[in-house]
Structure 1
Amino acid sequence: MKAIIVLANRLSRVFQMIIKLHILLLFFAFNSFATSYHVTVNGSANGDGSEFSPWDLRTALSHPPSVTPGDTIWLHAGVYKGHFSSDLVGSEDANIIVRQFPGERVTIDGIGQTGSGILSIKGSYVSYWGFTITDSNTQRLSQISGSFPSDIPNATGVNITGHHIKLINVIVHDAPGNGIAAWIQSIDTEIYGCVVYHNGWQGPDRGHGHAFYSQNLNGTKVVMDNLMFNNFSMGLHVYTENGSIQGFHIEGNSCFNNGIISGDTKLTANALVGGSQPADRLVYTDNYTFHNSSIIADNVRFGYAVANGDIIVKDNYMMGGFPVLRINNWNSVELTGNTILGFGKLVYLEVPSGVQTSSYDWDNNTYYAGTHDKPYNHISLNFDQWKQTYSIDANSLYTTDAPVGTKVFIRPNKYEAGRSYITVYNWDLKGSVDVDLSDIIEEGANYEIFDIEYLDHSPLLAGKYQGGSISIPMNLTQKSQPIGNITTVSKHTGLEFGVYLIRSIPVDNRNNNFLTDTKKADIKN
């Protein structure tokens, strides 16, 4: 094992050399009319944004007059301390891009300052790409109940009020409040490929702080291919009391064990869409969730306190929780192709007054009930009673047998060739699982595989891809721990479940997609 780690470290250094040798190729990929600007930790407001006279981050985000739609602002290596606000404005035809420079590592550290966000995004038509947001503040325990404690900082990692914003492959961890928030003003915003973990704080009442908190009215927010895990409260939290939660497309996300680091196993969910106002226009498809057996909260919940509009729940894989899935008061439901596995209750269904469930398209699902013989609804129905009572699931599969084998989901990154997330359900509890990577890694390409729960360390595996399957370890115990004075130890998901990041360099680099370092920069106050 030591030899493997040494090899992985050497290969990481080789990757950096390859990136530097190819760095000039990057600039030929951009439109000849676009300009590249540069930002460094020691940059200046008096600079011109060139490589030799870079800006500081605050200046770059203030939208200097020379920056126009289609331009790229490159962030260079280092820790940028404090809170920052962006007023950049691109155009519908040409986003401005703010991106970590290839092969370098950029961290924005909130250092315990107060405010709405470590990075507050206003403006419009801007893509923020590939860097890390965190907070080195160690005060994570509040003596005040509720969502607005005054005795500790609770800033959100990325707070979005601008519209047509893209947040791409950004890592947000250990923010003292929510990880990412996209509010009602942020029309047609996309959260893509982000890794969001260890965000929030512990109060005397419960854990607070979600991976993603959002509201919406006009347009559609896209939440796709993100990894949300081990936050103090929920993972995906689309909720309102007086606003609006209409228009969400949620696809390809892996959410697991949210709430577990707070020690509260009853009040957290991996995904919640609902509130005191009607939810509507919701699509939830191809998502993967996991709660371990100690968590007796909802895993996935749609609907909360009022009747809602239309929902599509399709081709998702949900394991654990009590219940695994809760559907509360929807006028129209399409729920098909889902796999639902539980240790107790599988599904709770509540129906609005006047709605007939025979109008729902609810069928062709697979249920694993374990030893629970009446896993449906508060009134404890068995499967036959469930089908008869609600006129649903006519062609669905129900079994008390445990699942066998493995189930592997691979999500290639649509913005970076060679980058993918892999989610594995390992029902046979094997020490490793063979995964065919031929569709996502080019033969002969160098690759790295990271355990997402130990992301801030060396790759789990690295090498030159020879084609076919790679054996990915599942018997993992090492795990990154939250920053600060947290008493609960965060444990690895273990053999049953794992999520991995894969990065590779295309052999010819013609697409100019480079590896960017995911590991945490050194944070020193």
Structure 2
Amino acid sequence: MKKTLLSIALTLAAVIVFAQQEFHVFPENHPETPGTKSGNGSLENPWDLQTALSQKPKIVNGNDTIWLHEGIYNGRFSSTLNSTIENEYITVSAYENDKVVLNGNVDSTEDQTLKVRSSRVIFQNFEITWLGDFTRQINKDGDFKKFVVGINHLSGTNCKFINLMIHNNPGLGFGSWKNTGGTLIANCIVYNNGGLTAEGKSIGEGFYVQNNSDTETRILRDNIIFNNYYKGVEVWSAAKHADTDWVKNITLENNVIFNSGLPSHYRTVDNIIVATDDRNGVNIAKNITIRNNILYHNTNFKKDEINGDAASLTLGFHKGAPVENVVVDNNIIIGRNNALRILYAKSLTLTRNKVYTGYIHLVNPDALKWNFNDNIYYTKKSKAFRNGSIKSYDFENWKLNFNLDANSHWKHIKTFDLNNVLDITENVNKPNEFRVVLFNKDGADVKVDFSKYNIAQAANYTIRDVENFKQILKAGVMDETSQIIFPMNLNQGQANKTLNNFGVFILEFKENTVAEISAKDKGFFRRFFRFLGF
């Protein structure tokens, strides 16, 4: 009996290994093992990137991994990979800790560095950018005639984009379009994308997001999005005469979005907008959840600054398409004038938010379909609730007239402050890495306690400022206090840098890799024997 079971186990192990194939990709100019079209995807005879991304399901399918080895991949690429196995994914990832860069700064007619027409594919752990010198302003008579997107996900469902760095693309950072239901975008860093039109107007969002699926939710979670030339995240459609709806069932959760529009020197703009420009009342932004996000624009809190338009969140755009079933819960919303704008909303929940703004712009509040509660509003003038151009209300009259915000509070901006530690999020896709978001309105350094994260004493760590990611800001060793001091005085007069009162950092611990490997092996064998029924 034991021999029979062992024989079955070995046979099944062989099947599992065969079912989980690994393929290898190298840059075409690699000095030792260049990737080629004629390769077979082996380590000795690897593919080039475009060949790998063009494989049919009979070659690469669910459970398979395509490893991208270190180097710069020059070109504009198109993925048509598709997993035909339900609930199983193809993975396209940098190999181990290799630095992989897709560089779109090449001569090409393609409108994006990475075009995706794929289903059930995970793209993770690499960069999408433009390297070298290039202009950011369109010149119809010069070399730069059109904007180029970082990633365009045009079709295919249930893809995942994880731990990508999308930056310095002269156009939109990431287009997540209507025919791509079920997409997850998580732990990405998206910044400095966009450019200027010939007339000097800024263009190029961090994300442009749509979804036409009634059953699949688009999720953006744990991302860092900043300093894009135009808006941070547009949940949006510009179509004016739609006959179907495709801006629905979208969740934005635990993202940090700041200083949208800053590098354009044109104007600061929305960190998030949720709306459509439909005039038929058909394509209405609906079933949108915005929860646990941190939205920030450069603001001098010591001077009680509110001057200048700096929207952080806008809901609704055209009166013919008021948003429906939008939930805005437990966010920090910091801007100056118009930090929070509710232009046209049919049904809306606004709860547990902290808002710093010059005033709150609302159009035709509807107490029957709006639920506002447990918010804290910081404004300079007491009459900060503006019902369009009709009338302004102080907080007590706002509550009385519209039966909203019964348990909310209004405070003068002189009293504004936040906890120094706004957020610590462990990267579930990268063990031992944390996103740390800090605030100190005086710009003082912040001490952060990591005792609840069970970090081993004497673990080495590095800290990077996301706005200067290539440089290690600080390195050290975890001591017995489990506390680390983060420097906040990082803006030395730089126009495109966050002020010293706000900072976003990546903290990485280096732990005992032997223990990690042991745990991984134990997990594999545990799952394997569970599979056998033991």
TM range (shorter): 0.7 to 0.9
Contact in 1 for aligned 2:467/2:497 (Cα 8 Å): yes
Could you list the per-position Cα deviations for residues 80-134 of structure 1 after superposition, in whole angstroms to 9, with x for gaps in the alignment?
Answer: 0010000111233210000011221000000143422100111200000010000
Equivalent residue for 2:159, pick from 165, 168, 183: 165
Distance 2:39 2:271 in 1: 45
Q: Which amino acid aligns with 1:446?
A: N
From the CA coordinates, give the structure whose radius of gyration is larger: 2
Distance 1:190 1:238 in 2: 15
Contact in 2 for aligned 1:178/1:199 (Cα 8 Å): yes
Q: Which has the higher contact order (CA 8 A, sep 6+)?
A: 1
Contact in 1 for aligned 2:227/2:496 (Cα 8 Å): no
Matches within 5 A, 1:109-124: 109-112=103-106, 113-124=108-119
Equivalent residue for 2:383, pick from 351, 371, 374: 374
| Runs of 5+ unmatched residues, structure 1 | 1-27, 480-488, 514-525
Q: Normalising by structure 1, what TM-score?
A: 0.83
Structure 1 counterpart of 2:302: none
Matches within 5 A, 1:360-509: 360-369=370-379, 371-377=380-386, 378=388, 379-400=391-412, 401-404=414-417, 406-430=420-444, 432-440=445-453, 442-444=455-457, 445-464=459-478, 466=480, 468-477=482-491, 490-507=495-512, 508-509=515-516
| Runs of 5+ unmatched residues, structure 2 | 1-12, 28-33, 240-244, 278-282, 300-306, 522-534
Distance 2:476 2:166 in 1: 24
Q: Which amino acid aligns with 1:460?
A: K
Structure 1 counterpart of 2:237: 240
Q: What SS does the corresponding residue of 1:357 show, helix, strand or coil? A: coil
Q: Which amino acid aligns with 1:498?
A: G
Equivalent residue for 1:286, pick from 287, 292, 314: 292
Structure 1 stretches of 4+ moved >4 Å: 464-467
Structure 1 counterpart of 2:35: 43
Contact in 2 for aligned 1:89/1:124 (Cα 8 Å): yes
Residues 326 and 117 from structure 1, CA distance in 2 versus in 1: closer, same or farther, beyond 3 angstroms? same
Structure 1 counterpart of 2:5: none
Q: Which amino acid aligns with 2:447?
A: D
Offset at residue 139 of structure 1 (A): 1.7
Offset at residue 150 of structure 1 (A): 9.2
Distance 1:172 1:229 in 2: 11
Distance 1:248 1:86 in 2: 24
Contact in 2 for aligned 1:358/1:390 (Cα 8 Å): no
Equivalent residue for 2:136, pick from 124, 140, 147: 140
Offset at residue 464 of structure 1 (A): 4.6
Q: Which amino acid aligns with 2:296?
A: F
Distance 2:377 2:323 in 1: 25
Deviates more, 1:305-314 or 1:288-297: 288-297
Distance 2:185 2:87 in 1: 19
Please, what is the CA RMSD of the aligned residues?
2.4
Structure 2 counterpart of 1:22: none
Residues 447 and 289 from structure 1, CA distance in 2 versus in 1: closer, same or farther, beyond 3 angstroms? same
Residues 109 and 311 from structure 1, CA distance in 2 versus in 1: closer, same or farther, beyond 3 angstroms? same
Distance 2:182 2:101 in 1: 26
Q: Normalising by structure 2, what TM-score?
A: 0.82
Distance 2:176 2:296 in 1: 24
Matches within 5 A, 1:288-303: 288-293=294-299, 296-303=309-316
Offset at residue 283 of structure 1 (A): 0.5
Q: Which amino acid aligns with 2:82?
A: V
Structure 1 counterpart of 2:304: none
Q: Which amino acid aligns with 2:475?
A: L
Q: Which amino acid aligns with 2:314?
A: R
Distance 1:335 1:436 in 2: 31
Q: Which amino acid aligns with 2:124?
A: W
Contact in 2 for aligned 1:441/1:504 (Cα 8 Å): no
Could you list the per-position Cα deviations for residues 405-437 of structure 1 after superposition, in whole angstroms to 9, with x for gaps in the alignment?
Answer: 52421122222222221111213431x101122
Deviates more, 1:315-324 or 1:117-126: 315-324
Offset at residue 36 of structure 1 (A): 1.4
Contact in 1 for aligned 2:71/2:101 (Cα 8 Å): yes
Offset at residue 308 of structure 1 (A): 2.2
Q: What SS does the corresponding residue of 2:451 show, helix, strand or coil? A: coil
Q: Which amino acid aligns with 1:509?
A: E
Could you list the per-position Cα deviations for residues 5-35 of structure 1 after superposition, in whole angstroms to 9, with x for gaps in the alignment?
Answer: xxxxxxxxxxxxxxxxxxxxxxx9x963311
Offset at residue 458 of structure 1 (A): 2.7
Structure 2 counterpart of 1:224: 221
Q: Which amino acid aligns with 2:42?
A: S
Residues 494 and 217 from structure 1, CA distance in 2 versus in 1: closer, same or farther, beyond 3 angstroms? same
